[in-house]
Amino acid sequence: MSIGTYPPKFGVRVDPEQCMLCGRCVENCSYGVFRMEEGRLKVNSRNCVACHRCLAMCPRDAITIRERPVDYRSHPLWTPQVREAIFNQAKTGKIIVAGMGNALPYPVIFDHLVLDACQVTNPSIDPLREPMELRTYIGKKPSRIELVKRGNGEVDLLTSLSPNLKLETPIMIGHMSYGAISLNAQMSLARAVSEIGTYMGTGEGGLHESLYPYQDHMIVQIASGRFGVDIDYLERGAAIEIKIGQGAKPGIGGHLPGEKVNQEVSMTRMIPKGSDAISPAPHHDIYSIEDLKQLVRSLKEATEWKKPVFVKIAAVHNSAAIAAGIARSSADAIVIDGFRGGTGAAPRVFRDHVGIPVEAAIASVDAKLRQQGIRNEVSIIASGGIRESADVAKIIALGADAVYIGTAALVALGCRVCGTCNRGVCAWGIATQREDLVKRLDPAIGSQQIINLVHGWTDELAELMGAAGINSIESLRGNRDRLRSYMLDSALMDVLDVKSVGA
């Protein structure tokens, strides 16, 4: 091989002064970095992915991990990543697959938006003293209601209302399938959302039996492969989501490799053990926006119009026009998944280069639906790259009703964003089906960590709203006047409909 080996991505050092040869690193590393040979600890740095499992389990802080311990000649265009992708493809001739979200250093729009706070002229609100309304309803809102007065002074509602989901916080957990993540990871999320009073997505992997007790807080997904989909599954969900696209890989389908289809995954997806689960790029029964209406209504008809139906699309150039079509399809909510959205596995070229940021997509979708007078027809859910409560506040001010978090929830379970979910040997028991690894994640502890995270964010959101003199999430929604742009260009400011700082 004329290319030879190339520099290891990480250098692992064990301080012999600190190390007591307890072997916990050997036990914990599922990537094969450590081994014990004749009473001595040997390290193979090349296998390291920086998942930090060894670090977290080392009782003596003996391990250090450095990224890129060997320098390439620095060059702004020919980055180490670019060079290594070429090496890889020169050797294999294949499509490069990677886990997690977009790994290119595009500017983050969230970090160029600042929030407002009250000073003197209007008072801020103290959330400790005043009630703050964070409850959010997802679904259609009537454009008008008809009431009739009865003789005894009571009023009857004549308008029939569409089913809505009631969220105690505008934070939901996005769709990560059983298969992509472990059952213990899904169980942790399910227990947490039930406790918090919010919802999570099942992903396109069916609903495992052990999650039935939490089904009232699960949004069941129907994607192009229709894995795990039958009438019971649709009836179990609190809502049904049609997945058209995913922010991490817009325009393409998904292939769950046969290695990840063990007995339990096979049962839940209803496919033979060890077989690939191939989700085609489009839904082959819907080839147009008119057909989408057909699929939305088929799901409503199958469940007797009792469940809200969501449609999830990846944020792409013409998201706003697509959303306007979805809003007219009888759907109850649109999920816009930005190009920073995570994934278990995606071709690197899609992960890094296809789609647009969620901030711009949400702003343009909200604006388009308002212009057309149909904003009330659907709720807007933002996902893909929501990292903290400030992002939640900003995206709601740009027009979203609620958010889905994915990666953030996994980080709350221990994920270090090492980006090797596709390998299936996640040392944290999250993105794996290997029994010994899955056992590392205790759903009792995991769910509490998720509850803590969402609780912390929700409190912060209430504080941010209070500081801005807002006591209801409704008043923050689409309230772009409470945002200012810091160093964004004017074209983007027009899209977001925000003024500059100082203006």
Partner 1 sequence: MKKVTIDATDLHYTPLNQQIRKAVREGTDHIVLDNVMGQRFIADGLKGSVVIEIHGVAGGDLGMFMRGPDIRLFGNADHAPGNTMDAGSIAIHGSAGDAVAHSMRGGKVLVRDNIGYRGGIHMKQYVDKCPVLVIGGSSRSFLGEYMAGGLLIMLRRFADTLEIERGIGSGIYGGEIFIRGNVPDSCLGVGTKKDICHGDDIARIVPVIHEFCETFSLDPGIFLNSEYTRISPASARPFANKYTWE
271 contacts partner 1 (rule: CB under 8 A): yes
The helix or strand, by DSSP H or E, that contains position 243, with its residue range, turns out to be: strand 239-243
Residue 100, Ramachandran bin (φ over 0: left; ψ between -120 and 50: alpha; else beta): left
Least Å from the CB of residue 364 to partner 1: 31
- Position 244 contacts partner 1 (CB under 8 A): no
Using the rule CB under 8 A, is 500 a contact of partner 1?
Answer: no
Q: Which of 54, 58, 98, 333 binds partner 1 (CB under 8 A)?
A: 98
Write the DSSP symbol of residue 116.
-
Place of tokens 């609620």: 402
> Is 245 an interacting residue with respect to partner 1 (CB under 8 A)?
no
The nearer residue to partner 1, 141 or 226, going by C-beta atoms, is 226
**Counting beta carbons within 10 angstroms of the beta carbon of residue 123, is it exposed (0 to 12), middle (13 to 18) or buried (19 or more)?**
exposed
Please name the helix (run of DSSP H) or strand (run of DSSP E) that holds residue 412, with its range, or none. Answer: helix 407-412
CA neighbor of 310 nearest in space, from 337, 336, 333: 333
Pick the stretch among 90-98, 159-167, 375-383, 434-442 that binds partner 1 (CB under 8 A).
90-98
- Point out which span in 68-76, 395-403, 414-422, 443-451 binds partner 1 (CB under 8 A): 414-422
Closest CB 151 distance from partner 1, rounded Å: 32
Q: Is 206 in the site for partner 1 (CB under 8 A)?
A: no
Q: Which of residues 30-69 bind partner 1 (CB under 8 A)?
A: none
Q: Least distance (Å) from partner 1 to the CB of residue 352?
A: 10
DSSP state of 181: B
- What's the min distance (Å) between Cβ of 88 and partner 1? 6
- Please tell me whether residue 180 binds partner 1 under the rule CB under 8 A: no
- Distance (Å, rounded) from C-alpha 318 to C-alpha 202? 27
Residue with Cβ nearer partner 1 (294 or 449): 294
Pick the piece of the chain touching partner 1 (CB under 8 A) from 63-71, 84-92, 149-157, 435-443: 84-92
Q: Which stretch binds partner 1 (CB under 8 A): 181-189, 275-283, 313-321, 361-369?
A: 275-283
Per CB under 8 A, does 150 bind partner 1?
A: no
| Closest by CA position to 311, among listed 325, 326, 321 | 326
Q: Which 307-336 residues touch partner 1, going by CB under 8 A?
A: none
Per CB under 8 A, 417 contacts partner 1: no
**C-alpha–C-alpha distance, residues 365 and 302, integer Å:** 29
* 469 vs 377: CA distance, rounded Å: 28
Which residue in 69, 257, 325, 469 binds partner 1 (CB under 8 A)? 257
Q: Is 1 in the site for partner 1 (CB under 8 A)?
A: no
Please choose, from the candidates 216, 191, 198, the residue with its C-alpha nearest in 3D space to the C-alpha of residue 457.
198
CB of 225: closest distance to partner 1 in angstroms?
7
Residue among 11 and 258 whose Cβ is closer to partner 1: 258
| 3-state DSSP assignment of residue 483 | strand
Determine which residue in the list 22, 55, 270, 493 makes contact with partner 1, applying CB under 8 A.
Answer: 270
- Whole-angstrom CA distances from 132 to 170, 229, 242, 302, 459 are 13, 39, 33, 38, 10
Applying the rule CB under 8 A, the residues between 210 and 239 that interact with partner 1 are 225-226, 229-231, 234-235
Which is nearest to 482 in space by CA: 218, 115, 146?
Answer: 115
Interaction of residue 92 with partner 1, rule CB under 8 A:
yes
Binding to partner 1 (CB under 8 A) within 336-375 occurs at: 347-348
Window contacting partner 1 (CB under 8 A); options: 39-47, 186-194, 273-281, 371-379: 273-281
Among 18, 64, 89, 318, binds partner 1 (CB under 8 A): 89
Which residue in 24, 236, 423, 482 binds partner 1 (CB under 8 A)?
423
- Identity (one letter) of the amino acid at 95? I
298 is a contact residue toward partner 1 (CB under 8 A): yes
Closer residue to partner 1 (CB): 7 or 469: 7
User: What letter represents residue 323's amino acid?
Assistant: A
Least Å distance, CB 452 to partner 1, is 32
Written in H, E and C, the secondary structure of 432-461 is ECCHHHHCCCCHHHHHHHHHHHHHHHHHHH
DSSP secondary structure letter of residue 328: T
Contacts of 320 (CB under 8 A, 6+ apart): 361, 364, 365, 367, 368
Q: CA geometry: angle at 423 spanning 387 and 312, to 5°?
A: 45
CA–CA dist 500, 503 (Å, integer): 5
Interaction between residue 284 and partner 1 (CB under 8 A)? yes
CA dihedral 487, 464, 379, 147 (to 10 degrees): -130
Which stretches of the chain bind partner 1, using CB under 8 A?
85, 88-89, 92, 94-98, 225-226, 229-231, 234-235, 255, 257-258, 266, 270-272, 275-276, 278, 280, 284-285, 294, 297-298, 301-305, 347-348, 419-420, 422-423
